[in-house]
């Protein structure tokens, strides 16, 4: 492409320019903002990923049993609900006196890896090894950020997405105050 970007590669510099200045300094900052102005979405940078684990035993993902019809009359499986057993324990800049955060992770890439790798490996132990390698070992080596959001029914934070840009040319300098800050 004439812009110097190759087809199929993410425009990380542009994404970083938009997102990284919006990084909250800590989850504690977002918690305080929630108390004052109901901030319910943010981006944080963990300082240390302690573990990635399942809160319940890993099981075979459910298969789709329902279908919908596309515009071309093709039957498309409706994706079955997956269990939500995955979580990260981590530290951020607001963690003092040995405090850590332990938060459920609902990242789309994680769930799709879980679903598709099950079809490929058909073995729960091997599936867990592959998931753990990618979402713990490899993520600890990357420049990982967490998109976090407040659960709609109770004031509980969830990791709703993982962001791991190829480079980090912009340092996090401002705090997220509301959804309008992202526009």
Q: How far apart are CA 21 and CA 146, in angstroms?
A: 14
* Region of residue 68 (phi > 0: left; psi between -120 and 50: alpha; otherwise: beta): beta
**What is the 3-state composition of the chain as percent helix, strand, coil, each rounded to the nearest 5?**
30, 25, 45
pTM of the model: 0.78
**Per-residue tens of pLDDT for the chain, all 183 residues:** 334 455 555 688 889 999 999 999 999 999 999 999 999 999 999 999 999 999 999 888 877 666 677 778 777 666 666 777 899 999 999 999 999 999 999 999 999 999 899 989 999 999 999 999 999 999 999 999 999 999 877 889 999 999 998 754 444 444 444 444 544
Q: How far apart are CA 165 and CA 171, in angstroms?
A: 13
| 169 three-class SS | coil
Contacts of 158 (CB under 8 A, 6+ apart): 103, 104, 105, 106, 148, 149, 150, 151
| 89 three-class SS | strand
Contacts of 74 (CB under 8 A, 6+ apart): none
Q: Which tens digit of pLDDT belongs to each residue from 70-103? A: 778 777 666 666 777 899 999 999 999 999 999 9
């Amino acid at each position: 492409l004439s812009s110097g970007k190759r087809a199929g590669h993410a425009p990380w510099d542009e994404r970083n320019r938009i997102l990284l200045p919006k990084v909250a300094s800590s989850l504690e900052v977002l918690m305080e903002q929630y108390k004052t102005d109901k901030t319910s979405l943010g981006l944080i940078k963990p300082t240390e990923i302690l573990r990635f684990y399942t809160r319940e035993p890993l099981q075979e993902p459910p298969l789709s049993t329902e279908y919908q019809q596309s515009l071309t009359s093709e039957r498309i499986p409706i994706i079955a609900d997956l269990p939500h057993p995955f979580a990260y324990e981590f530290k951020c800049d607001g963690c003092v006196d040995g405090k850590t955060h332990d938060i459920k992770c609902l990242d789309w890439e994680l769930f799709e890896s879980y679903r598709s790798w099950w079809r490929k490996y058909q073995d729960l132990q091997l599936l867990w090894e592959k998931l753990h390698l990618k979402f713990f070992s490899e993520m600890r080596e990357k420049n990982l950020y967490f998109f976090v959001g407040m659960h709609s029914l109770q004031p509980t934070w969830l990791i709703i997405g993982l962001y791991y840009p190829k480079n980090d040319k912009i340092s996090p300098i401002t705090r997220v105050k509301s959804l309008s800050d992202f526009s």
